[in-house]
Amino acid sequence: MILKINEDYRITTDSICIILEKKRVIQKNTKNHKAGDEVYDTIGYYGEFEHAYNGLLKRGLIASDLEGLRAILNWLERTGKEIKESLSKASLDDLRAEIDLLQAEVNSLKKKEKKA
């Protein structure tokens, strides 16, 4: 699953954890990417969405140049809304499609295992 939080951050999942990632734009051509390509760097691995959410908030606060309690509270409120909106956009249909793909992969692996 990929859950875009805002223009800079997203949350992805694998079979065992929740991953917080930050977008980065490639500056120079490399072996694997062209200049201008967008890639995501892993910020942290978490066992629960709440921990990933807290990690995002902590990272954002530390990296910010916010001054004053009001600015910090406004930032926290805005970021919380972005996360809630991104969660509400993740529809059940998208989740069902993801489950169907995973089930097809499991079935394929089971068939390969039987042949071996």
Minimum mean pLDDT among 15-24, 31-40, 99-108: which range? 99-108
pTM, whole model, 2 decimals? 0.62
| Residue 21: predicted pLDDT | 93
Q: What's the DSSP call for residue 48?
A: S
Question: Do the Cβ atoms of 40 and 48 come closer than 8 Å?
Answer: no
43 vs 110, more confident: 43
Backbone angles phi, psi at 34, to 5 degrees: -100, 155
